[in-house]
C-alpha cells in the first residue's frame, strides 16, 4: 500500500487540528486450545496464552504512535467467547476466568479486554448459562474486562429467554457496582448480529472463524468529517455525501497503514479496519456536531435520522473504497454519554430515548451508553433490548444496547463516569409495563429475510 506525500500532509492536519486518531489497536487471540476441566488449569492456560501473544502489543503501538505521529488512544485485546470454553470446566461460577483476563490485561498494559461473551441467539448450552449468570459478579470483580451477549440474529430470530435474563443481569450489575454509579453496565452490551471482528469495546470478541491471532484497527475522526462538512456549506446532498466519502477514504488509509505495520511487527495476521465515527467527550469530537453541521439545528430534531443515514452510508462507501479489509461495525456511533453534542441535546430536551431508537435503525450500532433512572424495572430494560434487537433482525444489521440504570438517580440528575465514558443526564423512560410480554419466553422466530440460501 503506497502512501503519497499529499496524504501525509492531510493526515498531519487531521491529527493536529481535527482530533483524528487511531481509537484502538486490538489484538484478537484464540483461546480455543485453553479448554480444561479444572478451573485453575484453564485460568493458567488462558493467562499464559494471552501473555505470550500480546506481551509486545503496547510497546509496538507506542512505537508506531511515535514514528507516524498519529495518536493511538487505546490498546486492547479480544478473545474467544468465554462461554465456548466453559462447557468443559466443572465450575458453575466463571468469575475466576474474568479475574484472570483482568490480570492479563493489566500485565500486558492494555486498556480493556473483551470476550467475556456468549452467542445465544438460538438457545443455550451449559457454558452459555454459566456465563450469563456470572456476568454481574465478574464485572464487579474486574476493571478492564468487557462482556457482550448476542441474543438475536436475522438468521435465528430473538432468544427472548436470553433477553429476559439480560434485563436482570444489567440490573444486578448496576446494583453490584452502585458505589461507582453502576459503571459495570458500561462494560456490558447486548447484541443482535454481532460482528466477530469488532475492535471496539464493550462488544469486542475474537470469533470462531478468525485466525489464531489478528490485529484489528479501530479508526475514528468525527472532527475531521465535521470540518469537511463545515467547509461545504452550499453543497447539495449528493455532493455532501461525496465530501464525507472522500474524507472517510483518507481516514481509512491511515488506519490500514498502522494496522499492517503493527501486524508485521507482532508477527500476526492483519484483520480489518473498523472505520467508526466514535465520539469522545471532547468538544469538536462529536457525531451530533456533524449532524448539526449538515443543517439540523440540534441533534434530535426533525431531519436527524436522515442526516445520520447519509453520514453512515457515505462513511461505509469511503472505507470500502480505501481498503479491501473494512470490517467490524464501521459507521457512526451514537453513545450519548461520550458525545458532547448529544449530552447538550438531551439537556435541552431535544434528544429523547424514542428518537435515539429511531436513529439506531440507520447508525452503526444502537442504544449506546444511555443512563436510565436507577429504579427502571428489569422487564423494562428487557423490553428496550427486545425492541432494539427487532430493528437489527428485520433490517439485517448490527444493533446493540448498552444502558446503565444508575442506582439512586432519577430523571433530571446527572452522572459522571469519567474518561472516555464521559457523563450524561439521566434519560426519561416509559414506566408502562411490558412484563407480561417479556415473561412469555421462548424465541421470536426468524423473519422471512432469513431465507437467503
Domain spans, the chain: 27-55+75-192, 214-450
End-to-end CA distance of the chain: 36
pLDDT at 125: 96
Position 178 pLDDT exceeds 70: yes
- The dotted CATH code for 27-55+75-192 is 3.20.70.20
Could you say which of 3.40.50.2000, 3.30.10.20, 3.30.1490.20, 3.20.70.20 is the CATH number of the domain covering 214-450? 3.20.70.20
Q: What is the pTM of this model?
A: 0.92
Q: Which cell numbers in the block locate residue 220?
A: 475514528
Cα gap 94→76, rounded to integer Å: 21
Percent of the chain surpassing pLDDT 70:
95
- pLDDT (tens digit, 9 = 90+) per residue, 51-106? 999 999 999 999 999 888 888 989 999 999 999 999 989 899 999 999 999 999 99
Phi, psi values for residue 25, rounded to 5°: -105, 115
Q: Which residues pair with 400 in a beta bridge?
A: 191
- pLDDT (tens digit, 9 = 90+) per residue, 405-445? 999 999 989 998 887 788 889 999 999 999 999 999 999 99
Cα gap 252→3, rounded to integer Å: 12
- pLDDT (tens digit, 9 = 90+) per residue, 351-363? 999 999 999 999 8
- Asked if domains 27-55+75-192 and 214-450 share a fold, the reply is yes
124, HSE (Cβ side, Cα atoms, 13 Å): 17
Residue 197: name the closest of 28, 317, 366, 334 by CA.
28
Cα gap 3→147, rounded to integer Å: 37
Mean local confidence (pLDDT), 353-381 = 94
Position 17 pLDDT exceeds 50: no
Position 16 pLDDT exceeds 70: no
Position 374 pLDDT exceeds 90: yes
- pLDDT (tens digit, 9 = 90+) per residue, 134-165? 999 999 999 999 999 999 999 999 999 999 99
Amino acid at each position: 500500500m503506497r502512501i503519497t506525500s499529499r496524504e501525509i500532509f492531510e493526515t498531519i492536519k487531521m491529527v493536529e487540528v481535527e482530533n483524528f486518531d487511531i481509537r484502538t489497536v486490538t489484538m484478537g487471540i484464540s483461546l480455543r486450545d485453553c479448554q480444561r476441566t479444572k478451573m485453575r488449569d484453564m485460568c493458567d492456560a488462558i493467562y499464559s496464552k494471552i501473555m505470550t501473544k500480546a506481551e509486545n502489543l503496547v510497546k509496538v503501538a507506542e512505537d508506531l504512535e511515535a514514528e507516524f505521529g498519529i495518536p493511538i488512544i487505546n490498546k486492547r485485546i479480544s478473545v474467544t467467547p468465554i462461554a465456548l470454553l466453559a462447557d468443559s470446566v466443572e465450575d458453575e461460577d466463571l468469575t475466576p476466568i474474568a479475574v484472570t483476563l483482568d490480570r492479563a490485561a493489566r500485565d500486558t498494559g492494555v486498556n480493556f479486554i473483551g470476550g467475556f461473551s456468549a452467542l445465544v441467539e438460538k438457545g443455550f448450552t451449559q457454558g452459555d448459562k454459566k456465563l450469563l449468570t456470572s456476568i454481574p459478579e465478574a464485572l464487579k470483580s474486574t476493571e478492564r474486562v468487557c462482556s457482550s451477549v448476542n441474543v438475536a440474529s436475522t438468521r435465528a430470530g430473538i432468544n427472548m429467554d436470553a433477553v429476559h435474563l439480560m434485563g436482570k443481569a444489567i440490573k444486578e450489575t448496576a446494583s453490584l457496582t452502585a458505589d461507582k454509579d453502576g459503571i459495570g453496565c458500561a462494560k456490558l452490551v447486548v447484541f443482535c448480529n454481532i460482528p466477530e471482528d469488532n475492535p471496539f469495546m464493550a462488544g469486542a470478541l475474537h470469533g470462531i472463524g478468525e485466525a489464531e491471532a489478528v490485529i484489528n484497527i479501530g479508526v475514528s475522526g468525527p472532527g475531521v468529517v465535521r470540518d469537511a462538512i463545515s467547509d461545504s456549506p452550499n453543497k447539495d446532498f449528493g455532493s455532501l455525501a461525496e465530501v464525507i466519502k472522500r474524507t472517510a477514504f483518507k481516514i481509512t488509509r491511515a488506519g490500514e497503514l498502522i494496522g499492517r505495520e503493527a501486524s508485521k511487527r507482532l508477527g500476526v495476521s492483519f484483520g480489518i479496519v473498523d472505520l467508526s465515527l466514535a465520539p469522545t467527550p471532547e468538544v469538536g469530537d462529536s457525531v451530533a456536531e456533524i449532524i448539526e453541521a449538515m443543517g439540523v439545528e440540534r441533534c434530535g430534531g426533525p431531519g436527524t435520522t436522515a442526516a445520520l443515514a447519509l453520514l453512515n452510508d457515505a462513511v461505509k462507501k469511503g472505507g470500502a473504497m480505501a481498503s479491501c479489509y473494512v470490517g467490524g461495525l464501521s459507521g457512526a456511533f451514537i453513545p450519548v454519554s461520550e458525545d458532547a453534542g448529544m449530552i447538550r441535546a438531551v439537556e435541552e430536551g431535544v434528544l429523547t430515548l424514542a428518537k435515539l431508537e429511531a436513529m439506531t435503525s440507520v447508525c452503526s450500532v444502537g442504544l449506546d451508553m444511555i443512563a436510565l433512572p436507577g429504579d427502571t424495572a428489569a422487564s423494562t430494560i428487557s423490553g428496550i433490548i427486545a425492541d432494539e434487537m427487532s430493528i437489527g433482525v428485520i433490517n439485517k444489521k448490527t444493533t446493540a444496547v448498552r444502558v446503565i440504570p444508575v442506582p439512586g438517580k432519577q430523571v433530571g440528575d446527572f452522572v459522571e463516569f469519567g474518561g472516555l465514558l464521559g457523563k450524561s443526564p439521566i434519560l426519561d423512560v416509559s414506566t408502562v409495563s411490558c412484563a407480561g410480554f417479556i415473561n412469555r419466553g421462548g424465541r421470536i422466530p426468524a423473519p422471512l429475510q432469513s431465507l437467503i440460501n
